[in-house]
Amino acid sequence: MAASRRVDRAGVLVAVVTALVFAPSVGNEFSVWDDEPNIYRNEGMNPPKAEALGEYWNWRRPYLGLYVPLVYTVWWGLAKLTYVTEPTDQGVHVDPRAYHAVNVVLHVAAACVVFAILREILRSREDEEGEKNQTRWAAAVGALVFAVHPIQAEAVNWATGLKDVMCGVWMLVGVWQYLVWAGGNAECRVQNAELKGPSPRPSSGGRGGRAWWRYGVATCAFVLALLSKPTAVVTPVMAGVLDWLVLRRPLKRVVLAVLPWVLLALPFVVMTKGAQPAAKVEKNVTLVPLWVRPLVAGDALAFYLGKVVWPVGLATDYGRTPSKILEVGWAYWTWAAAAAVGVVLWVKRREWAVVAAGGLVFVAGVLPVLGLTPFLYQYYSTVADRYVYASMLGVGMAAAWGVWELWPRGRRVVGGAAAGVIGALAVLTVIQGWYWREDLSLFRQTIAVNPQSFVAWNNVGIALEAMGDEARGQRKEAEATRYYDEAADSYARSADIRPTFVLAMENRAIALSKMGRNDEAGGQIFSIISEDRDRDWPESMKSRLNEGMLRAALIQIREEHHAAAAKYLAEILRRDPENKEAKAWLGVAREKIRGAATTATAPATTRAASRGAR
């Protein structure tokens, strides 16, 4: 009973500290950074529609090009619970607190599962009281390093980060249950006493043999992870690495054990390739030769290693694209840091089995997004904090092993040092979470880290424009104009950095129109549609261009420049032949051009277009 209470204290400490560090994020607003199309502007959730829920599970047409039906189901359910008819001043009908709270709860669950995994890995000689404490608290330290490291702030503080958190939770549950199954369910002593540090339990035997139901639970968790995000396909690799290097079962048995999972993963690989076909990636990402891609991967690993060791200067966009790292020469030498760490771990793989396995777990977790195969986010950067969410299990393993090793040399000193490191990480995570409270602080921080982030400059403009809308609603015209002017400058900076980033030009036109600078706004829109630049920006952003062109058309109609309005409306219909508003307004413009009497009532417009026509 006493031992059980001590186990509870360590586990409860992990849960409580994790919850306290991330609790402030529950008050965060939604971000324009993907929360808009995924959640609060998602037509299927505003209001929640039953047919939309079915569409999220349609593997033939993945929503926004990513098949994550379990995540959309949770978001849809939260929209159903929190939807209100009267929106906020920002036009939001759902409560962001519910979405952020789910992220925090799942992250606490992930920390507890990591604690269980580390206990499973480190457990060896628990018949002696001191060694039980040694294993328990070493596992707690590793779990807390996983949980409160600042690199986890993005996934947990960002509503859209649920994809990474939910996928990570199910991946970790799958790995945990797999390890329990593979290690057998009997309490056994160490088989390999010659190894330094914690050693594994035997892979089978004992009173009960393996509990096969645990393999079934692990498999179900793996499937749920795949339904949360396709990158979960690496789970068999992570489980197999731990089985082989930590449990030290024969490689043949390991391969046979993970083979069913590999087969389960194949359909999701095919679906992901279908949702992000090579032609689509090629239109948006500057491809590099095959021989360069290992250098890109090495640079990404070195970058992550640096952020794990020194977690400052975190941002939403690092601008570390393949073309960028080649242009400045990083790719030719940064990989050496990751390679050096890999060589050391390989040489020490027997003495440092847990650390070596942790290193491979880390690499396996980010394998799909290292740049060996191009993917759409490389339009902005190969690296992103959220990509290492599940990979941080490997860092937790290294931290737990270090505490386990040093514990006998002075538990008070070791405990104090571990508490100091965890405290420092927690403080940095709270600071990083503070940036996530709203868009302006988040993207200004990104610009401070990466001044060339064209998307951050654009998003700062969006935040300033929203502040201008709020000031205008309060009849503070001078203040509103100031915000719109700052927003237009921010959009212009974005377009200067990336001239082909059409969204920034369209947004600048909107800001100019709100200040009454209609000629400039019309000229900006004309510069956008004067040539076809669709291939230079992601598909998910194209819908906003139609909104901008509709605004420009309404401005021209108001100024009685009907031929110009017709040109913009015709361009909208070229891109979107079923756009009812564009059809209706085009009819009005053409009627004016023909000189017909103006008696027809103008059709209703969207809220956004109406505001632009004022």
What CA–CA distance (Å, rounded) separates 290 from 479?
52
pLDDT at 545: 65
Domain shared by 203 and 347, yes or no = yes
Largest CA distance in the chain: 96
User: Which one is predicted more confidently, 571 or 433?
Assistant: 433
Q: Is residue 595 part of a domain?
A: yes
Residues 543, 407 share a domain? no
Runs of H (alpha helix) within 276-391: 278-284, 293-309, 322-328, 335-347, 353-366
**Quick check: 33 pLDDT over 70?**
yes
Percent of the chain with pLDDT over 90: 64
Task: With H, G, I as helix, E, B as strand and everything else as coil, classify residue 48.
Answer: strand
Rounded to an integer, what distance in angstroms lies between the CA atom of residue 124 and that of residue 190? 6
**How far apart are alpha carbons 505 and 491 in whole angstroms?**
7
My answer on whether 429 and 542 are in the same domain is no
| Model pLDDT, residue 560 | 79
**Higher-pLDDT residue of 168, 37:** 168
> Is 29 a domain residue?
yes
pLDDT at 323: 92
- pLDDT of amino acid 8: 63
376 and 469 belong to one structural domain: no
Q: Which of 164, 149, 154, 197 is nearest to 396 (CA)?
A: 149
Backbone angles phi, psi at 228, to 5 degrees: -95, -35
> In the structure, what pLDDT confidence band is assigned to residue 438 with cuts at 50, 70 and 90?
very high
pTM for the model stands at 0.86
Structure tokens at 316: 């939403």
Q: Choose between 25 and 579: higher pLDDT.
A: 25
Q: Give the span between the Cα atoms of 482 and 67, in whole angstroms.
A: 42
Helix, strand, coil % (nearest 5) of the chain? 75, 0, 25
Q: Does pLDDT of 196 surpass 60?
A: no
Q: Are 163 and 225 in contact (CB under 8 A)?
A: no
Highest mean pLDDT among 121-135, 212-226, 344-358, 591-605: 212-226
> Hey, what are 433's tokens?
């979470």
CA distance 295 to 319: 16
Residues 525 and 422 in one domain: no
Residue 513: count of CB within 10 angstroms of its CB: 25
Instruction: Kindly give the interhelix angle for 96-122 and 392-406, rounded to the nearest 10 degrees.
Output: 40
In this predicted structure, the answer to whether residue 606 has a pLDDT above a threshold of 70 is no
- Domain count along the chain: 2
Are the CB atoms for 491 and 515 separated by under 8 Å? no
Write out the DSSP string of 440-482: HHHHHHHHHH-TT-HHHHHHHHHHHHHHHHHHHHTT-HHHHHH
Does the structure show a pLDDT above 80 at 522? no
Together in a domain, 222 and 153: yes
Give the CA angle between residues 12, 18, 23 to the nearest 5°. Answer: 120
585 in Cβ contact with 568 (< 8 Å): no
Q: Which amino acid is at 321?
A: T
Orientation of helix 518-529 relative to helix 502-514, angle to 10°: 160
For residues 190, 192, 197, 201, the Cα torsion angle rounded to the nearest 10 degrees is -40
- Mean pLDDT for the chain? 86
Give the least confident one: 374-378, 385-389, 390-394, 565-569.
565-569
Residue 445 lies in a domain: no
403 with 469, same domain?
no
Please tell me whether residues 340 and 219 are part of one structural domain.
Answer: yes
| CA 114/CA 110 separation, integer angstroms | 6
Look at the block and give the residue holding tokens 């082989």. 244
* Average pLDDT of span 440-464: 97
Range of the domain at 586: 453-613
Q: Most confidently modeled of 168-177, 346-355, 511-520, 539-548?
A: 168-177
Query: Taking 90 as the threshold, does the pLDDT of residue 104 lie above it?
Result: yes
Helix (H, G, I), strand (E, B) or coil at 201: coil
The answer on pLDDT for 379 being more than 70 is yes
Q: Is the pLDDT of residue 401 over 50?
A: yes
Task: Give the integer Cα–Cα distance in Å for 263 and 267.
Answer: 8
- Residue 557 pLDDT grade (very low, low, confident, very high; cuts 50, 70, 90): confident
Q: What percent of the chain has pLDDT over 70?
A: 85
Is 252 inside a domain boundary? yes
* N residues, the chain: 614
Does 410 share its domain with 457? no
Which letter does DSSP use for residue 45 in this model? B
Quick one: pLDDT at residue 276? 72
Q: 214 to each of 18, 90, 182, 452, 484, how far by Cα in Å?
A: 27, 47, 9, 49, 58
Q: Is 532 helix (H, G, I), strand (E, B) or coil?
A: coil
Residue 361 and residue 317 share a domain: yes
pLDDT at residue 279, rounded to an integer: 59
Q: Same structural domain for residues 397 and 469?
A: no
* pLDDT on residue 56: 94
pLDDT band at 205 (very low <50, low <70, confident <90, very high): very low
- 194 in a domain, yes or no? yes
476-485 CB burial, b ≥16 within 10 A, e <16:
eeeebbbbbb
Q: Please report whether residue 61 resides in a domain.
A: yes
pLDDT at residue 350, as a whole number: 86
Mean predicted confidence (pLDDT) in 344-368: 94
* pLDDT given for residue 561 in this prediction: 79
CATH code, domain with 473: 1.25.40.10
Give the pLDDT confidence of 151-160 residue by residue, as tens digits: 999 999 999 9
**Higher pLDDT pick, 465 / 274:** 465
pLDDT above 80 for 305? yes
* Boundary residue ending a domain (435, 461, 492): 435
Domain boundary among 435, 461, 476: 435
- Across 338-359, b (16+ Cβ under 10 Å) vs e yields beeebeebeeeeeebbbbbbbb
Note the pLDDT of residue 333. Answer: 95
Of the pLDDT bands very low, low, confident and very high (cuts 50, 70, 90), residue 44 is: very high
Higher-pLDDT residue of 546 and 536 is: 546
Looking up tokens 């000629």, which residue turns up?
519
Asked if pLDDT for residue 301 goes beyond 50, the answer is yes
User: Can you say whether the dihedral through the CA atoms of 165, 166, 168, 169 is positive or negative?
Assistant: positive
Arithmetic mean of pLDDT, 371-378: 92
What's the first-to-final CA gap in the chain, in angstroms? 72
Residue 443 lies in a domain: no
pLDDT of residue 601: 46
| 229 and 124 fall within a common domain | yes
Name the band, by pLDDT with cuts 50, 70 and 90, for residue 227: very high
Within a domain: 178: yes
How far is Cα 268 from Cα 394, in angstroms, rounded to an integer? 24
Residue 489, token pair as written in the block: 């400058």
So what's the pLDDT on residue 278? 64
Look-up: residue for tokens 């032949």?
A: 577
Q: Answer for the pair 110, 172: CB distance below 8 angstroms, yes or no.
A: yes
Domain boundary residue, one of 402, 435, 468: 435
